[in-house]
Amino acid sequence: MTIKLNDSFSGMKEFIPIEKNKVKIYSCGPTVYSYASIGNLRTYIFSDVLKKALAYIGFQIDDAMNITDVGHLVGDGDEGEDKLQKKSTQENISISDIIDKYTNYFYKSLDDVNVKLPSKIYKASETIDTQIELIKILFEKGFAYTTSSGVYFDISKFPEYSKLINQKGSDQNEHSRKGVVVDRTKKNPQDFRLWQTSYPNHIMQWDSPWGRGFPGWHIECSAIIYKSLGQSIDIHTGGIDLRNTHSVNEIAQSKSAFNTNFVNFWMYNGIVLADGVKMAKSLNNIYKLEDLEERGIKKISLRYLYLNSHYSVPINFTFDSLYSIENALGKIYNFISMNKNLYDENIPINKDYKKKFINQIENNINTPGLLEVLWNVIRDENLSIQEKLVTIIDFDRVLSLDFINYFNIDIPNDIMELLDKRSQLRKDKKWNESDIIRNSLVEKGYTVIDLKDSSLIIKK
Residues that bind Zn ion (CB under 5 A): 28, 221
Distance between CA atoms of 43 and 280, rounded to whole angstroms? 18
Distance between CA atoms of 237 and 50, rounded to whole angstroms? 10
The 3-state DSSP class for residue 380 equals coil
Question: Least distance to Zn ion from the beta carbon of 435, Å?
Answer: 45
Question: Least distance to Zn ion from the beta carbon of 262, Å?
Answer: 13
For residue 363, what is the DSSP state?
A: B
How many CB atoms lie under 10 A from the CB of residue 275?
12
Nearer to Zn ion, 28 or 371 (CB): 28
Question: Least distance to Zn ion from the beta carbon of 326, Å?
Answer: 33
| Amino acid, single-letter form, for residue 166 | N
Distance between CA atoms of 395 and 52, rounded to whole angstroms? 10
For residue 282, what is the DSSP state?
A: G
Tell me how far apart the terminal alpha carbons of the chain are, to the nearest angstrom: 40
Sheet strands (E) in 182-307: 192-196, 214-215, 233-239, 263-269, 272-274, 277-278
Nearer to Zn ion, 254 or 285 (CB): 254
Do 401 and 45 contact (CB within 8 A), yes or no? no
| Partners of 213 in the β-ladder | 206
Nearer to Zn ion, 222 or 285 (CB): 222
Question: Least distance to Zn ion from the beta carbon of 354, Å?
Answer: 35
Nearer to Zn ion, 208 or 245 (CB): 245
Nearer to Zn ion, 37 or 249 (CB): 249
Question: Least distance to Zn ion from the beta carbon of 251, Å?
Answer: 11
Nearer to Zn ion, 66 or 196 (CB): 66
Nearer to Zn ion, 29 or 330 (CB): 29
Whole-angstrom CA distances from 126 to 69, 166, 379 are 9, 34, 51
Helices (H), 74-205: 83-91, 95-112, 128-140, 160-165
DSSP string across 290-355: HHHHHTT--THHHHHHHHTS-TTS-EEE-HHHHHHHHHHHHHHHHHHHHHGGG--TTSPPPHHHHH
Question: Least distance to Zn ion from the beta carbon of 41, Å?
Answer: 17
Nearer to Zn ion, 109 or 245 (CB): 245
Question: Least distance to Zn ion from the beta carbon of 180, Å?
Answer: 20
Question: Least distance to Zn ion from the beta carbon of 109, Å?
Answer: 19
Do 182 and 174 contact (CB within 8 A), yes or no? yes
Question: Least distance to Zn ion from the beta carbon of 7, Å?
Answer: 17
Burial class (CB in 10 A: 0-12, 13-18, 19+), 308: middle
Nearer to Zn ion, 28 or 134 (CB): 28
